[in-house]
Amino acid sequence: MTWHTAGALFRDRRTLYALTATGFVLSWAIPRFGLLDAYVQLILMYVGINVILCLSLNLINGFMGEFSVGHAGFMSAGAYTASLLTVRVFPHGVAWAFPAACLAGGCAAALLGLLVALPSFKTRGDYLAIVTLAFVFIVKSAVENIDAVGGPRGFLGMDHLTTLPWVFAWTVGTVFVIRNFIYSRYGRGVLAVREDETAAEFMGVDTRQVKVLTFVVASFFAGVAGALFAHLLQYISPGMFDIVKSTEMLVMVYLGGVASIGGSLLGASLYTVLLEVLRPLAMWRMVLMPLLLVLLMIFRPRGIMGMREFPWFRRRPQARGGGRAAGVTAAAQPRAQVPILLDVSGLTHRFGGLTAVSGFGLRMSSSDLVGIIGPNGAGKTTVFNLITGAYRPDKGRILFAGQDITGRRPGEINAAGIARTFQNIRLFKDLSVLDNIMTAHYARSACGVAEALSHAGRYRADESRVRDHALDLLAFFEMEGQASACAGSLPYGLQRRLEIVRALATRPRLLLLDEPAAGMNPLEVDQLMEFIRRVRAEFAVAILLIEHQMRLVMSVCERVEVLDFGTTIAAGTPAQIQSHPRVLEAYLGQEAAS
């Protein structure tokens, strides 16, 4: 067999199916006919359990980019729940007892996962790490104080119910479900939270929903792994599920690679097997392992397979669904017109002692194209942040299409019909161009949780509708060719443009562009001007833009507002503004006016 055919086999999904089927047969045959000695079988089962743990932790820490150390707690909950059921509740010797106990263990852990997800709404990174850390100690301490499960002495009496076929089945099931989850609307939300949580929220991703789901799914499988572990060892104690256990899982995740299913398979297998192989080194193996990890972090900070995927687990290349979608432009999606789209009055915002915006007012109709200019620090971006809900104004009111949106959350404001771009491009840089656009469809996707986890029901229809719409949008702006490129790898001008297209994908009625021409060369600025005009005409959106490149402002905007010290100092047509004495003063300095 040549390398070429080997490569082809590696890419072909049927190989995976064949391997899985073979795996099932082997997992049954090995213990049945004693093909491998008991010790090797035990290691294989540990590999499977560790794969489940590693992959489910990777969902939170790798795919979602949070830093949770709580997995030992989830595992403990699953292990104890399942063990209690098989020993005390379920009749012994019945076939359904063990799978039911595993499921129950998973559910118990998922319930805890729900609890842990709540603090993650407000805090990120370090503080989530602290909360989950405390969680591990709390679970351990709680179990130690329950005499019914043996307290600190531990719990035993479980039958040896964990067998190779069960471990294999649960491992395959975990890979299947988590992969499905990642390649669904929620999975795109998970990745968006990792890439840029703030931007995700502004694009209509319900980040709270995404976090809750991710924690629930991940902790469920950690609970299942705990159940399997308990019925393999036939003895559990609270001390087994301490922070050291969590650390071990973290090592597997970051060894194999973050945000990679293949990486988790590799990391868990490598870690488990390596520990066994290095057994002759006795104590020194645990000296060697962390050293390897440190070296790995220095030379490959994201792990061996970090952010990459085995071909088998990649998303299936998707063909466009049935014909063109209905169309992406306004003509295809008419909307009721309102006379005044945006009505901002008396808007004031302070940072500490500094009043960044003071008494700002602005009215826009549904077809306006308005520019905001002003020197650095004049409060322009703060106005955008107030309108889109990033900040809550100290005073003032924002009406949008007759609705009071003052102080709402960014997601709600996006749903009301306002989308924005950012001064420093905030694309989901490690995601493809197409995924960037599809993520912005989050709020209008019909796919439910069960459908996302199983890829059944409406999943396919919904996915292809969203994908087609995203592709049409890209095609409309002649960016279809870049659909599978990584957003961060696009040339700068194209990234700016993609950010606008992504905002359009949320179907806004008002588009806020924060310095769209920043860093562009004159040619790119020319193209951008054309682009903005086209967006306005074809998508029937009102546009409000902040810009320093006067050439752009003067040629595309119909009205210009000049901001200085947080208030409008002048407003009018571009021509009026260019010769306005206060504008010259604000820009060029005092003497320019005289």
Partner 1 sequence: MTYLIQQSLNALQLGSVYALIALGYTMVYGVLTMINFAHGDFFMVGAFLCFLSVARLHLPFVPTLLISMAGVALLAVAVEVSAYRPLRKAPRVSAIITALGVGIFLEHFTLALSPYPLHIPPAFENVTWNAGGLAVSSLQVVTVLLSVGLMAALQFVVARTPLGIAMRAVSWDRDTASLLGVPVNRVISATFAIGGALGGAAGMLYALSYPVIDPYMGVLVGWKAFISAVVGGIGDIRGAMLGGYILAAVEIAVAVALPSTYRDFVAFSLLIVLLIFRPYGIFGRPRPQKL
Partner 2 sequence: MSAGQALLEVRDLAVSYGGIQAVKGISLEVRQGEIVALVGANGAGKTSTLRAISGLLPYSGEIRHEGTLLRGLPPHRIAARGIAHVPEGRGIFANLTVDENLKLSAWPCRSRAARDRGTERVFALFPRLKERLGQPSGTLSGGEQQMLALGRALMSGAGLLLLDEPSMGLSPLLVKEILAMLTDINRQGVTILLVEQNANMALRMASRGYVFGSGQLELSGTGQELLGDPRVRKAYLGA
The partner in contact with residue 589, picked from partner 2, partner 1, none with C-beta cut-offs of 5 to 8 angstroms by kind, is partner 2
Q: Pick the binder of partner 1 from 198, 318, 333, 489 (CB under 8 A).
A: 198
Q: Pick the binder of partner 2 from 125, 290, 311, 375 (CB under 8 A).
A: 375
Q: Is 514 helix (H, G, I), strand (E, B) or coil?
A: strand
What the block records as the tokens of 239 is 């001390």
What the block records as the tokens of 352 is 């500490």
Helix 185-202 / helix 207-233 crossing angle, nearest 10 deg: 140
Contact 508, 544 (CB under 8 A): no
Nearby residues of 431 by Cβ (< 8 Å), 6 or more positions away: 188, 191, 192, 195, 439, 486, 487
What the block records as the tokens of 257 is 């690679």
The partner in contact with residue 488, picked from partner 1, partner 2, none with C-beta cut-offs of 5 to 8 angstroms by kind, is partner 2
3-state secondary structure 233-293: HCEECHHHHCHHHHHHHHHHHHHHCCCCHHHHHHHHHHHHHHHHHCHHHHHHHHHHHHHHH
Q: Pick the binder of partner 1 from 23, 151, 359, 448 (CB under 8 A).
A: 151
Question: Smallest distance, Å, CB 215 to partner 2?
Answer: 32
- Binding to partner 1 by residue 74, rule CB under 8 A? no
The partner in contact with residue 127, picked from partner 1, partner 2, none with C-beta cut-offs of 5 to 8 angstroms by kind, is partner 1
In terms of Cα–Cα distance, which of 391, 414, 395, 375 is closest to 383?
391
- Binding to partner 2 by residue 571, rule CB under 8 A? no
- Binding to partner 1 by residue 297, rule CB under 8 A? yes
Question: Smallest distance, Å, CB 243 to partner 1?
Answer: 7
Mark the segment that binds partner 2 (CB under 8 A) among 65-73, 277-285, 303-311, 485-493. 485-493
The partner in contact with residue 375, picked from partner 2, partner 1, none with C-beta cut-offs of 5 to 8 angstroms by kind, is partner 2
Nearby residues of 155 by Cβ (< 8 Å), 6 or more positions away: 80, 83, 84, 87, 149, 235, 236, 237
The partner in contact with residue 109, picked from partner 1, partner 2, none with C-beta cut-offs of 5 to 8 angstroms by kind, is none
Q: Which single residue is written with the structure tokens 């299942």?
A: 224
Site string for partner 1, 246-265 (x = CB under 8 A): -x--xx--x---x-------
- Binding to partner 2 by residue 485, rule CB under 8 A? no
Interface with partner 1 (CB under 8 A), residue total: 53
Give the integer Cα–Cα distance in Å for 344 and 406.
Answer: 9
Question: Smallest distance, Å, CB 575 to partner 2?
Answer: 9
Q: How far is CA 84 from CA 30, 71, 73, 142, 229, in A?
A: 29, 20, 16, 16, 14
Give the integer Cα–Cα distance in Å for 540 and 538.
Answer: 6
- Binding to partner 1 by residue 390, rule CB under 8 A? yes
**Cα 385 from chain centroid (whole Å):** 22
- 422 vs 476, beta carbon nearer partner 1: 422
Which positions from 406 through 425 interact with partner 1, judged by CB under 8 A?
422-423
Q: Pick the binder of partner 2 from 495, 499, 504, 511 (CB under 8 A).
A: 495
In terms of Cα–Cα distance, which of 192, 36, 218 is closest to 113?
218
Mark the segment that binds partner 1 (CB under 8 A) among 156-164, 210-218, 383-391, 565-573. 383-391
- Binding to partner 1 by residue 61, rule CB under 8 A? yes
DSSP element (H, E) containing 563: strand 559-564
Give the integer Cα–Cα distance in Å for 512 and 388.
Answer: 9
Site string for partner 2, 349-368 (x = CB under 8 A): ---xx---------------
Site of interaction with partner 1 (CB under 8 A): 61, 65, 67, 119, 122-123, 125-127, 129-131, 133-135, 137-138, 140-142, 144-145, 151-152, 198, 243-244, 247, 250-251, 254, 258, 282-284, 286-287, 289-291, 293-294, 297-298, 301-302, 351, 381, 384-385, 390, 422-423
Site of interaction with partner 2 (CB under 8 A): 352-353, 375-377, 488, 491-492, 495, 515, 518-522, 548-551, 553-554, 565, 578, 585, 587-592
